[in-house]
Structure 1
Amino acid sequence: MAAFAKAYQPSLLTIQSSFNRRPNITLSLTNGTLSALADSIAQSINPELDENSEKLWNKRRTVNFFIFGAAMGTPLNYWNKFLERAFPLRRAGALPNSPISLRMLFTRVGVDQAVMAPSGLTAFIGIIGILEGKTSRDLKNKYSDLFVPAILANWKVWPLIQLFNFRFCPLAFRVPFTASCGVLWTLYLSNLNSKKGPTEVPAPVTNKKTPTKHQWEQKPTGVYSKAELVGVAR
């Protein structure tokens, strides 16, 4: 840690100074920029293709991720301040190099994962969905498709990251640290969000005939789309 701090001391001092003067703006811009970077990396790895199989960069999607990351900067700042006050690692008046309370450290991580992890994921699905123009029904379906796999993946990774974060990082660097680690996490969320869930029903094609009852009986199970199933039911 000492070697890292010495190598990046000018940058760290700049961040600390900016945080002291404008904490919310600093954290919002940092978080938004890193979220946009993560989505750009995600699109370069798994690009969208046009009808000619040419790679496309969805600029609107990257902007959406910047907006989401920036919007979360201030809430994360206040959340970290709350954890610092509610679960102090050292007693008031203790020396900086005095032993910390491991019980408080693990409690802080547990509260963070029990409250902020699901809240942040819900905010991600909601904010990104609204920016994409999703309806309330689309948002409900998206939530049903994404929340459980994403929160389970979160709990496999983030407790260890937050243990390190709360133990070693000063308050000013906790959001930038998680945002930096979150590049890979946002990469995962970006790819997860871009996938069509099983609840998304494709728009009906006007020149496609609904199968007759005889055709339905002959067609293998699972071949028809949900739109066709609705047509058969009617």
Structure 2
Amino acid sequence: MLLLRIYQKWLNKHFLVVQSVQTGALMAAGDAIAQLAIEKKKLPEFDLSRTAKFGFLGTCFVGPTLTVWYRLLAKQFGTSSSTSTALKKMACDQLIFAPTFLSIFIANVNFLSGKSVQDIKQELSRTYLDILIVNWKVWPAVQLVNFYCVPLNYQVLLVQGVALFWNTYLSWKTQKKVD
């Protein structure tokens, strides 16, 4: 209970910072899981700089972007937990935000890995559609629950909790070598 009160206090005082840091931590954890559990890397092979890049993206790009986006949705459609409001928010999230966000995210991952603009374009053409389709299999249901049941201040946290698994997939997919 004490931890929850401390979290709520920090969230109230430093909303964007808390959302950004928790997102960065969960994205770094997703990359670590991808490397250790999916790619089966041993500790000597573990790419700490890759995990740091995912954490950096979470803290400086994903967390702030999601925080602003959810506030924009709340401003546009309100904060009621009606089915109609949740459906409108989910539709905007999945049809407008997700396609744009994912392309920028993939480009950023590759940019931080030192790839050229041409390499980034090739990576986008290779991975974007697969990632977007998997996104549409996972996120509409999560977002409906999020927008229907979860207060605005906790929406990024819920999404990033679920996204621990999504981030694992994104890390694996964006780091996977071409066969």
**How far apart are residue 22 of structure 1 and its match?**
0.7
Q: Between Structure 1 and Structure 2, which shows a larger proportion of helix residues?
A: 2
The reply on whether 1:67 has 2:56 as its aligned counterpart is yes
Q: Percent identity?
A: 30
Q: Which ranges in structure 2 are unaligned for 5 or more consecutive residues?
A: none
Aligned partner letter, 2:71: K
User: Is 2:24–2:56's contact at 8 Å kept on the other side of the alignment?
Assistant: yes
Q: Which ranges in structure 1 are unaligned for 5 or more consecutive residues?
A: 1-8, 91-99, 199-234
Match of residue 72 from structure 2: 82
Aligned with residue 146 of structure 1, among 127, 149, 169: 127
Alignment of 1:114-153 (within 5 A): 114-153=95-134
**How far apart are residue 55 of structure 1 and its match?**
5.2
User: Is 1:35–1:183's contact at 8 Å kept on the other side of the alignment?
Assistant: yes
What is the CA–CA distance in structure 2 between the aligned matches of 1:85 and 1:166, rounded to whole Å? 13
The reply on whether 1:29 has 2:24 as its aligned counterpart is no
**CA distance 1:130–1:174, shift in 2 (3 Å):** same
**CA distance 1:101–1:171, shift in 2 (3 Å):** closer
**CA distance 1:16–1:180, shift in 2 (3 Å):** same
TM-score normalised according to structure 1 size = 0.71
Match of residue 140 from structure 2: 159
Provide Cα deviations, 1:59-111, integer angstroms capped at 9, x if missing partner. Answer: 11000100111122112111111111111253xxxxxxxxx432221011000
Aligned with residue 103 of structure 1, among 84, 100, 107: 84
What is the CA–CA distance in structure 2 between the aligned matches of 1:13 and 1:114, rounded to whole Å? 36
Counterpart secondary structure, 2:164: helix
Aligned partner letter, 1:23: F
Aligned-pair Cα RMSD in Å: 1.7
Aligned with residue 19 of structure 1, among 11, 17, 36: 11
User: Is 2:82–2:148's contact at 8 Å kept on the other side of the alignment?
Assistant: no
User: Is 1:89–1:105's contact at 8 Å kept on the other side of the alignment?
Assistant: no
Larger radius of gyration: 1
**CA distance 1:113–1:137, shift in 2 (3 Å):** same
**How far apart are residue 16 of structure 1 and its match?**
2.1
TM-score normalised according to structure 2 size = 0.92
**How far apart are residue 114 of structure 1 and its match?**
1.2
What is the CA–CA distance in structure 1 between the aligned matches of 2:96 and 2:11, rounded to whole Å? 25
Counterpart secondary structure, 1:134: coil
User: Is 2:28–2:52's contact at 8 Å kept on the other side of the alignment?
Assistant: yes
**CA distance 1:172–1:15, shift in 2 (3 Å):** farther
Aligned partner letter, 1:47: K
Counterpart secondary structure, 2:95: helix
**How far apart are residue 119 of structure 1 and its match?**
2.1
User: Is 1:142–1:197's contact at 8 Å kept on the other side of the alignment?
Assistant: no
